[in-house]
């Protein structure tokens, strides 16, 4: 029996050593943060490492959050500014002008008629139209009511009793183009100067449901603007007014972060909203593996541009090195609150390290099985 027990004990010890060195789904914190020296300091000969490590805490957050963001998708936007409800006539519009004349011998109508119809009057590139007995007159830049009054005034000398009615069929300059991302893309006329972006999207049937975290792109002249659709819903002051010639497209958010190690899912995750915190990211990936992960050592690995780094003492101006590892402790209140404010950036890697207790549990389990066989 003693021989059997000694054999079993030797087997357990051997298995324990093997378990410690067996392949794991993630590395221990000490393994991941094992510094590699890339050069030696000229001052005192100490090694200079190729990455920096910072704990995410209440004290460090103000500095860490002030560092440059690699979120290059951020674009400027135009706030809502209310405009008059009337349309503005522009070159390319088509006018329909109706003139009533009560005179018996009217210059505009045939005998027995009282109405003259001028259909399909095109506003030229110079903003002018031609009217009989008036000649060329500028209407571009006028509201339809202003243009009607002006035409009536111009006819007074020729047709004193003239009454004018005017309607406008918008040309390309008084339309907006919904390019993509809506159920009914196309060119839509703007009935007035106060058509908002959300109103235009509703005319296009709304945004496609399949788009994750839809992003709005507005092209006006030679400039482009961008915003997340959810921000438009949350803040009415951002629902900008559409201008003639605007082009709007809706596209999926292409920003993502990665999850690896002892997480519930190891995958690429598209940003579901404009801002994702470390706690949001952990919820998105389904948390960490309870049996394997070390909740005191959740890592966020990030790479900054070389131009963003700042040599010398750590400051809010920028990180000291291009490669930075942020550590998060989910077992403390400060770590949890700080993780809820720490912003994940596109391309970040959320890495859950392996808990040493996982290997210990494997050894204990293997020892129990071995002793059971010995008995």
Q: Which fold has domain 18-72+256-374?
A: Outer membrane lipoprotein wza fold like (3.10.560)
Q: Which tens digit of pLDDT belongs to each residue from 312-351?
A: 889 999 999 999 999 999 999 999 999 999 999 999 999 9
Residue 40, pLDDT > 70, answer: no
What is the DSSP code (8-state) at residue 282? H
Q: Which two tokens stand for residue 249?
A: 């497209």
Full-model pTM: 0.65
User: Got the DSSP string for 96-112?
Assistant: EEEEE---TT-SSS-TT
Three-state DSSP state, 201: helix
Domain 94-169: which CATH number of 3.40.50.360, 3.40.640.10, 3.40.50.300, 3.30.1950.10: 3.30.1950.10
Across 57-65, average pLDDT: 95
Each domain of the chain, given as residue ranges in start order, spans 18-72+256-374, 94-169, 182-251
Common-topology check for domains 18-72+256-374 and 94-169: no
String of b and e for 151-172 (b: at least 16 CB within 10 Å)?
bbebbeeebeebebebebebbe
Reply yes or no on whether the pLDDT at 375 is more than 80.
Answer: no
pLDDT 10s digits, 241-288: 998 899 999 999 989 999 999 999 999 999 998 899 999 999 999 999
Rounded to an integer, the average pLDDT of 195-210 is 93
Evaluate if residue 98 carries a pLDDT over 50.
yes
């Amino acid at each position: 029996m003693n021989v059997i027990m000694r054999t079993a004990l030797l087997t357990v010890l051997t298995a324990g050593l093997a378990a410690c060195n067996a392949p794991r789904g993630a590395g221990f914190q000490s393994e991941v943060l094992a510094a590699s020296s890339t050069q030696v300091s000229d001052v005192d000969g100490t090694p200079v490492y190729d990455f920096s490590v910072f704990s995410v805490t209440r004290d460090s957050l103000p500095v860490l959050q002030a560092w440059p963001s690699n979120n290059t998708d951020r674009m400027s936007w135009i706030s809502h500014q209310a405009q008059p409800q009337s349309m503005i006539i522009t070159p390319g519009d088509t006018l329909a002008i109706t003139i009533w004349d009560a005179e018996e011998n009217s210059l505009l109508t045939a005998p027995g008629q009282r109405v003259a119809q001028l259909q399909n009057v095109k506003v030229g590139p110079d903003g002018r139209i031609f009217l009989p007995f008036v000649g060329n007159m500028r209407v571009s830049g006028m509201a339809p009511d202003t243009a009607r009054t002006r035409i009536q005034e111009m006819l007074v000398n020729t047709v004193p009793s003239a009454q004018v009615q005017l309607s406008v069929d918008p040309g390309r300059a008084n339309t907006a183009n919904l390019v993509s991302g809506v159920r009914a893309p196309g060119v839509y006329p703007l009935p007035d100067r106060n058509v908002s972006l959300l109103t235009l999207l509703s005319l296009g049937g709304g945004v496609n449901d399949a788009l994750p975290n839809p992003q709005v792109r507005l092209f006006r002249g030679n400039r482009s603007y961008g915003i997340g659709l959810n921000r438009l819903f949350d803040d009415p002051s951002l629902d900008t007014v559409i201008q003639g010639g605007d082009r709007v497209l809706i596209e999926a958010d292409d920003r993502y972060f990665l999850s690896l190690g002892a997480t519930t899912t190891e995958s690429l995750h598209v940003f579901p909203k404009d801002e994702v915190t470390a706690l949001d990211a952990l919820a998105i990936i389904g948390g960490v593996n309870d049996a394997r992960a070390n909740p005191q050592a959740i890592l966020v690995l990030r790479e900054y541009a070389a131009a963003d780094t700042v040599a010398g003492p750590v400051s809010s101006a920028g990180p000291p090195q291009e490669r930075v590892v942020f550590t998060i402790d989910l077992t403390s209140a400060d770590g949890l609150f700080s993780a809820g404010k720490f912003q994940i950036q596109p391309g970040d890697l959320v890495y859950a390290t392996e808990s040493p207790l996982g290997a210990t549990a494997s050894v204990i389990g293997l020892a129990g099985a071995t002793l059971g066989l010995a008995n």
